Structure 1
Amino acid sequence: MISKTTRFDVLDALRGLCAILVVFFHLPVSSHFHALPLTRHGYLFVDFFFVLSGFVIAHAYSGRIGTVGDAGRFLVRRVGRVWPLHMAILAAFVLLELCRLWFRFDAVPPFSGDRAPQYLISNILLVQAFGLHHHLTWNGPAWSISVEMGCYVLFALMLLAAPRRFTPIAVILAVVGALVVLTFAPRYMNTTYNFGFPRAMYGFLLGCLVQRIWSAAPDPGQGLVRWLEPISLIAAVAYVSLARGPWTVLAPLIFAVCIWVFASEAGRVSRWLSARPLLRLGHWSYSIYMTHMLVITVMLIVARKAGIMENRRIDFGSVWLNDLFALAVLAFIVGLSALTYRWIETPGRDWVNGWLKRRDARRARPVLAAETA
């Protein structure tokens, strides 16, 4: 039988691969990678992040939030996980705009368009994707971090208000999120700043439900998992490559099946995904996701200066050279992400967790003294 693990390394590796595919989706290079249907629909892999986040958060915190204090600690930990890197990248974008202002090296007016100063407050507060603006602002991919923070708040409120009815409420809200996207979002699941929260709520709560099913149900046999892993992975790749229009709303359901299958980490594909380089990608996935647009922005400035832009894409005149360039940019993004993970993500998270422990210890001393008096 397969053990119920508390660490999901394989799912982490899958998240790293999805982050790479999101980079290729955004990468403005006329390469073979850009021509792949899997890449052209790479925005759907953000829904994998939402479902996986719901699964992991439910696994870690469903039994640990019973009071307002518990909810507060949970939310502070989540802020400590996502906000330091978000702020570092936002500061880098501001510095880039200041360089535009000081050195006039680019034709784009500084602090204009999606990087106007008035958008900084909503980005700092991580509320920029709740319909406040009519387009993405500053570090565009951070929209998903904004709505995911909203999902964390919703998760904590549901456990505080109705812990015994969490499952039916989650089902209802997930269906509501899917229906809102299906009915009102002009581009269905390719929605961000306007209907991003219903999209995220749908995927996140579906992940919570998958975790409950996975934890409560008997483990599938190892032989069954051995077959389900490649089948579910191939089905997910085929779906993302082919999905169009309203059919994209099925994305969280497809990813939910994959997460349920791979959570047990028992098949041959899981063993392949457990390779150290893929596990490293999983660790760096948040940094990859958050840093790649900054790298792409600087790259486009240089490309315009060098005159290698064709139809808003970088083109060296040879698709094979474009492929090599795309891989080089990807390698640079991954290398930069390893550094930001080591020097920003990890210290920021550890500092917040350490502050919480010190605060709880200070609060516990008077109680302990009163009990021993």
Structure 2
Amino acid sequence: MASAENVTRYHALDSWRGICACMVALFHFDVISHLSFLPLTRHAYLFVDFFFVLSGFVIASNYRSRLAEGFGTGRFLVLRLGRIYPLHLVTLLLFIPIDAAKDGIRPNLLQAIVTNVLLLQGLGINPQNWLNFASWSISTEFAAYAIFAVVVSRIGPAILPWLLPIMVGPAVLATISPDGMNATYDYGLVRCLYGFALGVVCFDLRERFPVLRARLGPSGETWLEAASVMLVVFYVSVAGSNVILQVASPMVFTLVVLVFAREAGAVSRRLTAPSMLMIGTLTYSIYMLHPLVRAVVRAILMVVERLGHMELFVSYALSSGHEPTKVVSLNGSLWLGDLLQIAMLLSTVLLSVATYRFVEEPGRNWVRRLTDRRKAAAVRSAQPAFET
């Protein structure tokens, strides 16, 4: 059956996105371990910006021309809502009792629920992240979709409007944002639009200049891809200690998108292996579910700590520049911490298989069918009636 959302897939970049989601999960698990002390993991919050850049690139690739030609802003936003909202709603419903059990029925719980239901939680309305803390980025992405649709529908596929967030975003994040590039509920929209705009411009440049799509030959492409991987690992590892490097990270991810959109080297072939493609497919579920796995594991360990009269949490700042928080420490053993983090990540992936199968796919397909029916009905109603 023809879909309302036939999209161009960049399989190597999908796998990249899945790897980034796993790194963000490791960053948030807050466990004393060898993995947590790796500089790459300590600064892995920057991989969220890869999502924003890739989102701008893919959305521009699949919808810029169609929106400019009358695809329909409402139809586009309904399709995007069908992609992100079902899983967001499920995780929201699961987090409400968790937060209520942890902090009680507090006065701001209603505000947290309402803003999350309306996808406003990442737009500077709330004073902190509530409920599923990862969902702030979903809120800002949907706002970016709306802005993209309005701009393209009204102005067309011009590159100029997207230069504004690219110029303003880094300045705001470097000077005003209290957490620099790690902005979430407060300056998260600025962060998202900065990366999203880079993705749109990245696609535009790739279309305008064929040299960016020209192949270098198998060995040249492989070296280029390998160099890109090493650049990301090195850059993210050192960027957390310097705010200028932090705010420049989306530009590094833009280069990665340009390189791996070609899918021409040996690294891309590895990234398009079935196991890697599966991780890429589960990206959204991994990202949205890892806070739930974190919350459940921490709750279990708190019960074990209380019943066993042992200390399983210590006050420590795993991320540079942040206040110490309670992190998991299994008798001070880094190796046990590694095993716990790996188990949490595997649990997240396994749970993601279920949510992709029973939440993401059904929700997206239902919305696609709905938009197809509405489009067909609109076409029929627009056809002239002939007298017999």
* TM-score (normalizing by structure 1): 0.92
Q: Which amino acid counterpart does residue 170 of structure 1 have in structure 2? A: W
Identify the match of residue 181 of structure 1 among 169, 173, 182. Answer: 173
Alignment match, 2:222: 226
The whole-number CA distance in structure 2 between the counterparts of 1:245 and 1:162 is: 34
Alignment match, 2:155: 162
- Equivalent residues, number: 359
Establish whether residue 315 from structure 1 lines up as the match of residue 329 from structure 2: yes
Alignment match, 1:198: 190
Deviation string for 1:315-363 (max 9, x for gaps)?
2222212211211111100000111011000100000111011111122
Contact 2:15 2:272 survives alignment (8 Å): yes
The whole-number CA distance in structure 1 between the counterparts of 2:153 and 2:279 is: 35
Contact 2:99 2:131 survives alignment (8 Å): no
The whole-number CA distance in structure 1 between the counterparts of 2:96 and 2:177 is: 31
Q: Which amino acid counterpart does residue 229 of structure 1 have in structure 2? A: E
Q: Which amino acid counterpart does residue 269 of structure 2 have in structure 1? A: R
Alignment match, 1:136: 129
The whole-number CA distance in structure 2 between the counterparts of 1:273 and 1:28 is: 28
Deviation at 1:227, TM superposition (A): 1.7
Contact 1:187 1:245 survives alignment (8 Å): no
Identify the match of residue 81 of structure 1 among 83, 105, 111. Answer: 83
Deviation at 1:370, TM superposition (A): 2.5
The whole-number CA distance in structure 2 between the counterparts of 1:58 and 1:28 is: 36
The whole-number CA distance in structure 1 between the counterparts of 2:386 and 2:55 is: 40
The whole-number CA distance in structure 2 between the counterparts of 1:372 and 1:157 is: 40
Contact 1:89 1:139 survives alignment (8 Å): yes
The whole-number CA distance in structure 2 between the counterparts of 1:68 and 1:276 is: 37
Q: Secondary structure at the match of 1:310?
A: strand
Alignment match, 2:309: none
The whole-number CA distance in structure 1 between the counterparts of 2:290 and 2:386 is: 53
Deviation at 1:97, TM superposition (A): 4.3
The whole-number CA distance in structure 2 between the counterparts of 1:209 and 1:322 is: 41
Deviation at 1:156, TM superposition (A): 0.7
CA RMSD of aligned residues (A): 1.8
Alignment match, 2:308: none
Q: Secondary structure at the match of 1:65?
A: helix
The whole-number CA distance in structure 2 between the counterparts of 1:229 and 1:371 is: 60
The whole-number CA distance in structure 1 between the counterparts of 2:106 and 2:285 is: 26
Q: Which amino acid counterpart does residue 280 of structure 2 have in structure 1? A: G
Alignment match, 1:40: 42
Contact 1:85 1:344 survives alignment (8 Å): yes
Establish whether residue 361 from structure 1 lines up as the match of residue 376 from structure 2: yes
Establish whether residue 212 from structure 1 lines up as the match of residue 188 from structure 2: no
Deviation at 1:69, TM superposition (A): 6.2
Q: Which amino acid counterpart does residue 84 of structure 1 have in structure 2? A: P
Identify the match of residue 62 of structure 2 among 56, 60, 64. Answer: 60
For structure 2, the 5+ residue unaligned runs are 1-6, 306-311, 316-325
Distance change >3 Å, CA 266–CA 54, structure 1 → 2: same
The whole-number CA distance in structure 1 between the counterparts of 2:153 and 2:293 is: 41
Deviation string for 1:225-276 (max 9, x for gaps)?
2221111111111110001223200011000000000001000110111111
The whole-number CA distance in structure 2 between the counterparts of 1:344 and 1:362 is: 27
For structure 1, the 5+ residue unaligned runs are 101-107
Deviation at 1:196, TM superposition (A): 0.7
Deviation string for 1:176-228 (max 9, x for gaps)?
22222222112211111111111110100100111111223222323332221
Distance change >3 Å, CA 257–CA 335, structure 1 → 2: same
Establish whether residue 117 from structure 1 lines up as the match of residue 110 from structure 2: yes
The whole-number CA distance in structure 1 between the counterparts of 2:36 and 2:11 is: 29
Q: Which amino acid counterpart does residue 299 of structure 2 have in structure 1? A: I
Q: Secondary structure at the match of 1:133?
A: coil
Alignment match, 1:275: 273
Establish whether residue 149 from structure 1 lines up as the match of residue 145 from structure 2: no
Contact 2:170 2:247 survives alignment (8 Å): yes
Establish whether residue 328 from structure 1 lines up as the match of residue 322 from structure 2: no
Contact 1:33 1:39 survives alignment (8 Å): yes
The whole-number CA distance in structure 1 between the counterparts of 2:115 and 2:346 is: 31
Deviation string for 1:6-63 (max 9, x for gaps)?
3200000000000000000001211111000000101100000000000000000011
Establish whether residue 254 from structure 1 lines up as the match of residue 269 from structure 2: no
The whole-number CA distance in structure 2 between the counterparts of 1:89 and 1:366 is: 39
Deviation at 1:297, TM superposition (A): 0.8
The whole-number CA distance in structure 1 between the counterparts of 2:208 and 2:103 is: 56
Distance change >3 Å, CA 191–CA 365, structure 1 → 2: same
Deviation at 1:110, TM superposition (A): 2.1
